[in-house]
Structure 1
């Protein structure tokens, strides 16, 4: 049996692509997924920055203790909540060669740590952390970053502990 060529329509080539409605539906679904993930991404980046800042502060505390013992000099870290910075002093003078600082000043709200805030500093009622030339820490207390990450510093040893509140 032969087909009448006049009445025969080749429909095979009509299903080779997507219809406009299918493309619009896919784009809408992708838009919803992207919109919901960007808000989560902001939370993740802020948490990563706060974690990096906590690592910066705690490693600088350890380094200050080590340098105080190695150089037999008093090292003092003074925290400034207003500028989200801390400054390192060696025997009362600005420690301009302190590793990782900008002429003795470490700014937690610059570059990779933007969005990090020193919320509170309570080190025996002051904002200073002092290591003697023997490496003894003269203060104890808490440094809080972004209202939820607490760095607890122990008296004498200078050991610290991070608590997520």
Structure 2
């Protein structure tokens, strides 16, 4: 699908806001794409998707790739705006969240965060730490209310 020629995407993006109705239409487009690949999609509260092949023959990652632009990116943009409405630096938000949640010490900075991310060394936190997962999904606590 050519997004330049997609009147829906142009209309949604034209006014700089995504209404609930436009979001629902985008979700319908995504779900229709997954259904056409004999798959289902579910979203968690933060907008992260889980895809399942309904007949067990399709690769969920390949199906996700095939449907990634079926809505012109509207669903992802909507969820991004929900979790970071002022479009602040993700690194700053994640660093502040990691400090606030006690994952790292109070003196941990954005530069420290970037150094950890650029390093091949292990992170100073456990990979399965739920606080880290929540910071990645909702660094400001706007979706979870925390």
Query: Structure 2 length as normaliser, TM-score?
Result: 0.30
RCO higher in structure (CA 8 A, sep ≥6): 2
Pick the structure with more strand per residue.
1
Pick the structure with more helix per residue.
2
